[in-house]
Structure 1
Amino acid sequence: MNKRRALLIVDVQPTFCEGGELPVQGGNLCAVRIANHVKKHARDYTLIVTSQDWHIDPGAHFSDHPDFIDTWPVHGVADTPNAQLQASISGLPIDVSVKKGMYASAYSAFEGVDEAGNSLESILRDHAIDEVDVCGLALSHCVKESALDAQRLGFETVVYTDLSEPVTRELGQTALEQLQDNQVVCCRSCTYTTEVHAHA
């Protein structure tokens, strides 16, 4: 029996791309690679989901003197242009969009809700999703936390390393080790599509 897959595109927003308030190096090119992947493989997915930081008052998450570990410069402010989906992503055939972090840090997309207030977990369950492929920004933070939650909740979880970028290479490597320690598959999308999913 074919498994039902979702693609989760995490926080690919101008605020996290070059020119944004909290830019990840390579963010804009990462968005283009994700868009190309979706254009080639959209029919492989039952559901394509995006998440966005959508901060209103996230408390200590914002700081005038950020440590870039637990506190950060102002970013992803709700209803601002830089909190919208990055241009390469916004035109994709997105089925569900969840927003997170209105009043909290909310690194994981599973802390987000859609416009009707439905959680990401409930949305995936309602669509009988078995597998979640995760990509986006940043690998070392919100991608990692989203993938760990997906795996913890019982979804077979893969992180596409070529469709994600970390804040730094060192933090990215640490994230990959943590993901692999928690049985999350980390691989390039082209290899994964042709080999790991050959049974689907």
Structure 2
Amino acid sequence: MSRALLIVDVQNDFTEGGSLGVTGGAAVAAGITRLLDEHADAYDLVVASRDWHDGGNDNGGHISAHPDFVDSWPPHCISGTPGAEYHPALASDRIDVHVKKGQGRPAYSAFEGADDFGKRISEVFQAHGITDVDVVGIATDYCVRASALDAIADGERVRVLTDLIAGVADASSHAALDELAAAGAELASSASVTAAR
């Protein structure tokens, strides 16, 4: 068994004070760093995704001056801006593979992005023999949901660490977790990581 930690979109624009900030985002960033500090040997690979949108266009209708907050959103995570960077409480030096998603089109799942060499997460996981994935990050009801579902579809055993995620809204976040559990994901606390290996 080889386990990866998949960190989804822990970026300034998705944490408190950002253009699409969610409550608890900064705490998620700090909690992930604490997890990596306390259980450095729990993971064979640490992968993190970032929304990485183009400036100067609507990114396939994803970004709008008049967003509906369903299919279109205010400008966020524009490449080269502070909002697109990892939250400072996240220990980005502990990340092995950095994935950017969006880049001119809508993208919610980390599996839609690619690293700096053009490899998608499914290729990276296959190359490292990853069988199990712990998913953490932002936002529970959007990109965490989509990424975890794609990890399940990719064939990994998925565990969502529910104390290291933050959502846009309570109702949709609960619905997302119910959907993930029904799809086969394990919902657990980060305290369970100590027994992972």
What is the TM-score with the length of structure 1 in the denominator?
0.93
Output the CA distance in 2 between the equivalents of 1:112 and 1:158.
21
User: How far does residue 104 in structure 1 lie from its aligned partner after superposition?
Assistant: 1.3
The letter of the residue matching 2:99 is: V
Number of the residue aligned with 1:35: 33
Output the CA distance in 2 between the equivalents of 1:91 and 1:65.
33
Mapping 1:1-12, distance limit 5 Å: 3-12=1-10
- SS of match in other structure, 2:136: strand
Output the CA distance in 2 between the equivalents of 1:14 and 1:193.
26
Number of the residue aligned with 1:24: 22
Number of the residue aligned with 1:101: 102
Mapping 1:1-200, distance limit 5 Å: 3-56=1-54, 57=57, 58-190=59-191, 192-194=192-194, 197=196, 200=197
Compare 56-65 and 131-140 and name the one that shifted more: 56-65
The letter of the residue matching 2:139 is: A
Moved over 4 A (4+): none
User: How far does residue 91 in structure 1 lie from its aligned partner after superposition?
Assistant: 3.9
The 1:108–1:91 alpha-carbon spacing in structure 2 relative to 1, beyond 3 Å, is closer
Query: Which blocks of at least 5 consecutive residues in structure 2 are unaligned?
Result: none
The letter of the residue matching 2:116 is: E
User: How far does residue 93 in structure 1 lie from its aligned partner after superposition?
Assistant: 1.2
User: How far does residue 189 in structure 1 lie from its aligned partner after superposition?
Assistant: 1.2
Matched length: 194
Query: Which blocks of at least 5 consecutive residues in structure 1 are unaligned?
Result: none
Output the CA distance in 2 between the equivalents of 1:6 and 1:122.
13
User: How far does residue 194 in structure 1 lie from its aligned partner after superposition?
Assistant: 4.4
What is the CA RMSD across the aligned residues, in angstroms?
A: 1.1
The letter of the residue matching 1:161 is: T
What is the TM-score with the length of structure 2 in the denominator?
0.95
Output the CA distance in 1 between the equivalents of 2:84 and 2:73.
15
- SS of match in other structure, 1:62: coil
The letter of the residue matching 2:110 is: A
Output the CA distance in 2 between the equivalents of 1:124 and 1:18.
31
1:151-198 deviation digits (Å, cap 9, x = unpaired): 0110001111100001011111010111011011112111x2245x3x
Compare 138-147 and 53-62 and name the one that shifted more: 53-62
- SS of match in other structure, 2:94: coil
